[in-house]
Amino acid sequence: MVESSTSVEMRYIKDQIHDYICISPLLSSIIDTKEFQRLRYVKQLGTSYMVWPGASHNRFEHCLGVAHLARSMVEHLRLNQPELGITPREVNCVQIAGLCHDLGHGPWSHVWDGLFMPSVSPGTKWKHEDGSKMMFRALLENNNINLPEKDVTFILALIDGEPSQCDPGEKPFLFDIVANKRCGLDVDKFDYIARDSYMIGEHIKFSAQRLITSARSR
């Protein structure tokens, strides 16, 4: 199963939105692959930098931020609602899903799936989540990162926000953390609302931690 790590093994990355982000050895092994490093060259806001020069940030930093918030959310639920029975395996799978949820973005992000793919392959229902799931499997295989198939299937379903894609025994509320298909309120949006507005110079008052510390599962 996906293992947890001790604080001695952790490394820390300085992020301009979330300050220091704690990265486990397992996450480091994913980050330090060519499949993940390519996100440094995929602009978060596509061609928006042509209008807002500051919008030159990338999917790499966004994915680190989502991984950080995903872990913060699931750890908050684990500590404050012990009756939910959240396990270390689930904490790590949710964080990996947050880290890898945008692996499948092409050049200029949504320009790729919103404009390019429909023009070259009309009628094809392509979502970047489809690419993310394909890329995640390729990343594991190409870099000899061994995860149990049950965990891989769980992570892929978390990326898509679809409980039906994995073992029915997985906790349904966990699928709302990274890709909330029920109401859209998830840590992906928490990060990009804060990050994108900051990078274009619109410093809005938004506190992801306020929402996380107020969260409960029913």
DSSP H helical segments within the chain, as ranges? 25-31, 34-37, 59-80, 88-100, 110-111, 117-120, 128-142, 149-160, 175-178, 187-199, 208-213
Asked about 128 being catalytic, the answer comes back as yes
Q: What are phi and psi of 77, to 5 degrees?
A: -65, -40
What's the distance, Cα to Cα, between the start and end of the chain in Å?
27
> Which residue out of 18, 62, 68, 128 is catalytically annotated?
128
Nearest to 66 by CA among 84, 44, 88: 44
> Both tokens of residue 50?
């042509």
Max Cα distance, the chain (Å): 51
Produce one character per residue of 157-179: b if its CB has 16 or more CB atoms within 10 Å, e if not. Answer: bbbbbebebbeeebeebbbbbbb
Distances (CA, A) of 137 to 44, 147, 188, 197: 23, 10, 21, 32
Alpha carbon distance 10, 26 (integer Å): 10
Active site residues: 128
